[in-house]
Copies of this chain bind each other. A is one copy, B any other.
Amino acid sequence: MKKGTRQEIPRKAVYRLSLYLRCLHRLKINSIRTVSSEALAKAAGVKSTQLRKDLTYFGQFGTRGLGYDVEQLSTMISDLLGTNSLQPVILVGVGNLGSALLSYRGFEQEGFEIVAAFDAYPDRAKTRTVKQPIHGMDKMPEFIKEHSVRMAILTVPIPAAQEVTNTLVENGISGILNFAPIVLHVPEDVTVNNVNLAIELENLSYFIQH
């Protein structure tokens, strides 16, 4: 996770910036031009001291008493997150969950386009009705390089996950959204975000009992 002169913003702060951005989008839709730190913090479900601290990553910002300019703050956060232009993403593993994510429209609204999918058995996977092309795994390295893809969604079964990850990383993928319930080993300059839906339910299960 080290590259160039990157300013170190902790992962949790980056998550909160995403939350603020969503709240700012809703404000824009409602034609609201400025927002106080208290109101924005409340909408995002954080404390206003936390919000103000997070926004110091942008240096001196906001006018005392007037609040933040909604448009300006949105642009600054989008620039930082790199979501101002549509980013290409590939998906690997077109099973139940994979094909579901291929037809999920939520990503595109947020600036991510799943441009292609790969599967060990592309013919079987093609029986699923998705709009993206589904290729065999052998086509993946070339595709990644040709389309300068940097991000991948991983929805392969556990036994295949590490090997596929190695191939992704070797070919230039540096961000992986991993749905396989396994710890992936990657070089330091590659980021893996894990989404494990069963673990989320298990966590709830604990809290509803205690």
Contacts and interface: CB of A to CB of B under 8 A. Distances in A.
Given A43-B183, A207-B1, A112 B174 contact: no
A80 interface: yes
Contacts of A71: none
Interface in A88-139: 89, 96-97, 99-101, 103-107, 109-112
Contacts of A163: none
Contacts of A66: none
A8 B5 CA distance: 41
A106 B97 contact: yes
Contacts of A43: 183
Most buried by B among A4, A11, A107, A203: A203
Interface residues of A, number: 64
Interface string A43-86: 11100000000000000000000000000000000001111000
A126 B207 CA distance: 32
Contact of A82 (B1, B14, B81, B206): B206
A97 B104 CA distance: 6
